[in-house]
Structure 1
Amino acid sequence: MTTDAARMLSDVRALTGQVRRDQRRTWVALSVLAAATLVAIPFDLLFMWVRCDDTGCMFGRQGLFYYWPAALLIAYAVIAVSYIRAARDRGVGTRVLPYAITGAVTAVVITAVSLAAAAWFPDNPPFDGGPMPYWWIVLDRLVLPWGLIGLALLVLARLERHLALFWFTVGYLVLVLLVVPTNEGIHVPFVTDPALQLRLSTVLPQLIVAAALLAGAIGFHRARPGQR
């Protein structure tokens, strides 16, 4: 009797794990976030202000405020609906709500950080206008949309108990926080105007982030159950 009960419990756990794997929509989440990152580029260029003089250039990325809060709310709503539909198709529940809430919180954080930066930094440049230490750059990237996307993906990995997504997200955060070059480290050939040079230098990091998310989406889509 004890052996039969243990076998039944093992079967239930195996079935639960299989259902959880079948209803994963990791590739949908990554695809939606990659698309949001690509669409953000023209908004960033359009709403960026740049002021240059003999000492250098200052800039503000107001597109972060105008675009990303609404974009993230829409993106996480689309992702949540995708998970809910997958769960209903299989007649099971889903725990995507905490992930959607995390996404909404990231939109609030971006709004708060953007407003604070717009109000403070133009008249109070950090570090007396000198070069920023790398820890500051890492912190700045963490509260930017692509850093907060990584934190939300960690929540999704925990909800799905998805080890592959966890390690993908760790690699993604390392790429975003430590590897992607800063604006100062990017030079666009044949562009002599410093203001335009600064604007265009913000495009490459966003393209790298979008490419990483899209590559992850393709990989997880191909690794879906039944695709092998």
Structure 2
Amino acid sequence: MLSDMRALTHRVRLDRRMTWTALLVLAVATLVAIPFDWFGMWVNCLPDGGCQFARNGMLWYWPAASFLAYAAIAVLYVRAARARGLGTRVLPYAITGAVTSLAFPAAWVALDAYFSDHPYPEGPLPYWWFVLDRLVMPWGMIGISLLVLAWLERNPALLAFAAGYLALVLLVLPMGDGFGSPHFGIRLGMALPQLIVGVVLLLGAFGFRRAARRPR
């Protein structure tokens, strides 16, 4: 009886998982953000080669897009659970998504307020600065939400995927503007990491979907 109970518990846990759906929704949100960031970016380059830019499109896009994405994920999870006659613990994930959605604009506003009263540091910034900057970006917050989803689903495969995803976002993604002329190079340098993140999430969605369709 104990063995049957464990097997049933494991089966219910597997049937609750909609990992691929969450990854697909987040992938679409990330890829759709690229044109908003590209065309909504303000770039001003001076004759001496120095450039200033502001990612206004991304700042306006991501808060609303994140809320809609996590709301859509919660609705899809609840509908799938009801169709299978199961319960689901998606509320903590939805709350985490809502909280992380605010992290990016909050960090943006806080840094803007800080540097309006303090001089920008001279010389190269410490490495931890760039890691923190990437963490509070929307794609960094996606990694945090995936860790929460892995905990809720008791999903070791998703935990491994989320850890690898965060390592990619924080340590590997290319960041720079050396991709041609100043205006084009800056935009491409900001679009390329988002494209990579979107493709990785999309591949993850396809992988988890294929794994879910295998006979158990």
TM norm structure 1? 0.87
Equivalent pairs counted in the alignment come to 215
Aligned residue number for residue 137 of structure 1: 130
Give 2:89's aligned amino acid. Answer: R
CA contact (8 A) 1:65 1:111 kept: yes
* Counterparts of 2:55 and 2:116, CA distance in 1: 12
1:201 CA displacement = 1.4
* Counterparts of 1:153 and 1:211, CA distance in 2: 16
1:72 CA displacement = 0.6
TM norm structure 2? 0.92
1:74 aligns with 2:77: no
Aligned residue number for residue 41 of structure 1: 34
1:96 aligns with 2:52: no
* Counterparts of 1:37 and 1:107, CA distance in 2: 13
Aligned residue number for residue 191 of structure 2: 203
CA contact (8 A) 2:36 2:57 kept: yes
**1:124/1:183 Cα in 2 relative to 1: closer, same or farther (>3 Å)?**
farther
Give 1:210's aligned amino acid. Answer: G
Fraction of identical pairs, as percent? 61
Give 2:76's aligned amino acid. Answer: S
Q: Deviations over 1:95-126 (max 9, x none)?
A: 01100000000111122112223444467564
CA contact (8 A) 1:22 1:225 kept: no
Q: How does 1:52-201 map to 2 (within 5 A)?
A: 52-53=45-46, 54=48, 56-121=50-115, 124=118, 126-128=120-122, 130-184=123-177, 187-188=178-179, 191-192=180-181, 194-201=182-189
1:223 CA displacement = 0.4
Q: Which moved more, 1:218-227 or 1:112-121?
A: 112-121
Larger radius of gyration: 1
* Counterparts of 2:170 and 2:32, CA distance in 1: 21
Task: Describe the SS at the equivalent of 1:223.
Answer: helix
CA contact (8 A) 1:62 1:114 kept: no
* Counterparts of 2:125 and 2:187, CA distance in 1: 19
1:196 CA displacement = 2.5
Aligned residue number for residue 25 of structure 2: 32
Task: Describe the SS at the equivalent of 1:49.
Answer: strand
* Counterparts of 1:140 and 1:146, CA distance in 2: 11
Stretches of structure 2 that go unaligned for 5 or more consecutive residues are none
**1:30/1:125 Cα in 2 relative to 1: closer, same or farther (>3 Å)?**
farther
CA contact (8 A) 1:142 1:148 kept: yes
Aligned residue number for residue 22 of structure 1: 15
* Counterparts of 1:121 and 1:64, CA distance in 2: 20
Aligned residue number for residue 209 of structure 2: 221
Stretches of structure 1 that go unaligned for 5 or more consecutive residues are 1-7
CA contact (8 A) 1:48 1:60 kept: yes
Give 1:56's aligned amino acid. Answer: G
**1:216/1:43 Cα in 2 relative to 1: closer, same or farther (>3 Å)?**
same
* Counterparts of 1:60 and 1:181, CA distance in 2: 19
Aligned residue number for residue 3 of structure 1: none
**1:89/1:68 Cα in 2 relative to 1: closer, same or farther (>3 Å)?**
same
Indicate the RMSD between aligned Cα atoms, in angstroms: 1.8
* Counterparts of 1:137 and 1:163, CA distance in 2: 29
* Counterparts of 2:154 and 2:112, CA distance in 1: 39
Q: Deviations over 1:17-64 (max 9, x none)?
A: 111112211011001000000010111112222232326222221223
Give 2:3's aligned amino acid. Answer: S
Task: Describe the SS at the equivalent of 2:30.
Answer: helix
